[in-house]
Chain A
């Protein structure tokens, strides 16, 4: 069963902050975050593992609450390049199930 993301869409001005939430009715063992720009491939942002280990490549942070089966992605001081659709993925049984996505639009 795919995780649920909220909100569906958010519009920001440059420099503003936003939070994207991801929750699952099934146990979350690891959460993967990707960003996809229109017409392009999803790009890896962050992976959060049980026990608190995080692996990421950009200045975007995330949290993972195993008990609540939730993860949140924090976009801080947003830049125009943050625009895109953000997907969270929950990994179980060797495969990723993705949420429906959150579309972020950052305006100058």
Chain B
């Protein structure tokens, strides 16, 4: 069964600094990978997804992620953090076919002025 591991339950960065949120997956077949963002007391919103096309995926709000099969990773990055990026970020994986989405435990991003 597939699973995801998000390293670091809480990441804190200064405004304008690089954001790096880590996600490693475990899957028996090439997976589909997603990053979702959740603002306080709201539902999840898709940031970006990897579906076996380009390995570098660009998403909304200036975020991007790179699929690295050799490292089984799909880390999320943003060159310059903004205060509005403070939220919970979830990495998720699904296998091709009829399987449910499996979420990681999430990483809370704090942005310091």
- The answer to whether A and B come from one shared complex is no
